Structure 1
């Protein structure tokens, strides 16, 4: 079972954003494999519903950016999407990589004791999405391996009513005056915070309320640019990890995250 709180998981999780997306095509099985290879134990992935009500891994509503196809995901069948190349846009080493289904990602997670942080895209189709999600979780027995996330906290609250027992995480891009109140209002199990919006007092308050914290970092180049100007944005992060006020660190470069966690533990 994916344990959201670090104190229950024997340490802070390392989560690839769309998988190890700095080194593999995002939202593919290759990106999940690369996440494990670089020291991660979970991945944030994005999901969209096809025309024939299958849930596939895709960030955008359209196929154009990350496949050799074009048009809306929601207007094409799974069979048609299966024919597309989802890897060559990234690098020639990934020619022939396919768009996976959520069910396939769950089977990967079950095989490797891996966690999935699943962002819901395309809220206009939520009734259909929820019906299919419930079926996928029933078919795979995969609910213990995932947490469903969204910017839409009301939708997440309603999802808990529709699928009792499912775990949810609210994405935030601001520092709220009362994070605990935000989490309680939507019955969230976890909150996602951007690095620059995090202060340890908020993490401690959420933990006291039994709510986990996913702490999202930028790519290493972002921190290198600031360090060159005399600003070490990463200096406090080791303390956050060591002090247990965050539960997951996530980002595009999983190797960078794993090294950050290892250095914090070693201190």
Structure 2
């Protein structure tokens, strides 16, 4: 059954866990995905790279140093080399022995557990190989196509994949407010748009929904002990909560994304909506 990412009209805002339940588990690992599902979320954002031997792995950074016991660049390493390192122990010793996940493994798990995946491309080079192997993988798993939205800051690259798989849904990121915001998004063939608070305007959100697009709001990670909304108040000098709750209540947001799932769920409930 196809996964429905856009349920705002039904009073449902999906709590989208960023890199899995990454505030309580090592990010972009199977424990983080399992933890997210157990916490009640049905939608997860992940990041992918193509290895030197053309395998797709799930991790955020171009280097593995921050999240693993290894060092080096994902795109310059083989899967065998990457699987020599531990991707859990740096977060906490209880996650020792956690390997880097393969995209195909995560796709199978998502389909089996009715989870939607926002799959963000992090690839910098070897774009021809990237497109070729991703198309081959997705075509080999047709049941997974309706469970993903392919996301990227490089809209040209995401569209190269969509050209080969027209039924693939794209999500695009906007980090500015363009003169014609809706046109800029539509030119990227997106079915969903991801935005951050400081670049948002209610007129654009309404235009997205009127055009039939899905909308995802990304809330920044906790920094210096401040939640995202506290950060916005510190940065801009006013309380963003009433505005964001108003967007939610108006049905302008389909997905709310953050590292901490209970934080997301609480905001959605405060707006009088459901997250599942």
Question: Mind listing any 5+ residue stretches in structure 2 that lack a counterpart?
Answer: none
TM (norm. structure 2) is: 0.89
CA distance in 2, matches of 1:7, 1:194: 18
CA contact (8 A) 2:9 2:251 kept: no
Q: How does 1:1-267 map to 2 (within 5 A)?
A: 1-7=2-8, 11-141=12-142, 142-219=144-221, 221-222=226-227, 223-224=229-230, 231-265=238-272
SS in structure 2 of the partner of residue 213 of structure 1: strand
Query: 1:174 Cα shift?
Result: 1.6
- Over 3 Å counting, the alpha-carbon distance change for 1:9 and 1:78 in structure 2 is farther
Superposed displacement of residue 9, structure 1: 6.6
CA-CA distance at 1:37 after TM superposition:
2.6
Q: CA 1:104 to 1:205, structure 2 compared with 1: closer, same or farther past 3 Å?
A: same
Deviation at 1:218, TM superposition (A): 2.2
Assess, with a 3 A threshold, how the Cα gap between structure 1 residues 196 and 39 changes in structure 2: closer, same or farther.
farther
Partner secondary structure for residue 20 of structure 1: coil
Distance apart, 1:97 and its partner CA:
1.1
- Structure 2 distance, partners of 1:51, 1:27, is 20
State the distance in 1 between where 2:10 and 2:163 align.
27
Query: 1:106 and 1:40 mapped to 2: Cα distance?
Result: 16
SS in 1 for 2:267: helix
CA distances 1:202-229 after superposition (whole Å, capped 9, x unpaired) = 1110111121111011235233466689
| TM-score under structure 1 length normalisation | 0.92
CA distance in 1, matches of 2:210, 2:204: 10
Unaligned runs of 5+ in 1: none
**Superposed CA RMSD:** 2.1
**In the comparison of the two structures, how many residue pairs are matched?**
267
For residues 43 and 152 of structure 1, the distance between their equivalents in structure 2, rounded to whole angstroms, comes to 20
| 1:59 alignment partner, SS class | coil
Question: Equivalents in 2 of 1:91, 1:104: separation in Å?
Answer: 23
Judged with a 3 Å threshold, the aligned counterparts in structure 2 of structure 1 residues 219 and 247 are, in CA distance, closer, same or farther, namely: same
Q: Distance in 2 between matches of 1:254 and 1:59?
A: 19
**Distance between the aligned counterparts of 1:209 and 1:89, measured in 2?**
44
Q: 1:9 to 1:105 in 2, by over 3 A?
A: farther
- Partners of 1:256 and 1:89 lie apart in 2 by 24
Counterpart-to-counterpart distance in 1, 2:113 and 2:10: 15
Report the Cα distance in structure 1 between the residues aligned to 2:110 and 2:11, rounded to whole angstroms.
Answer: 18
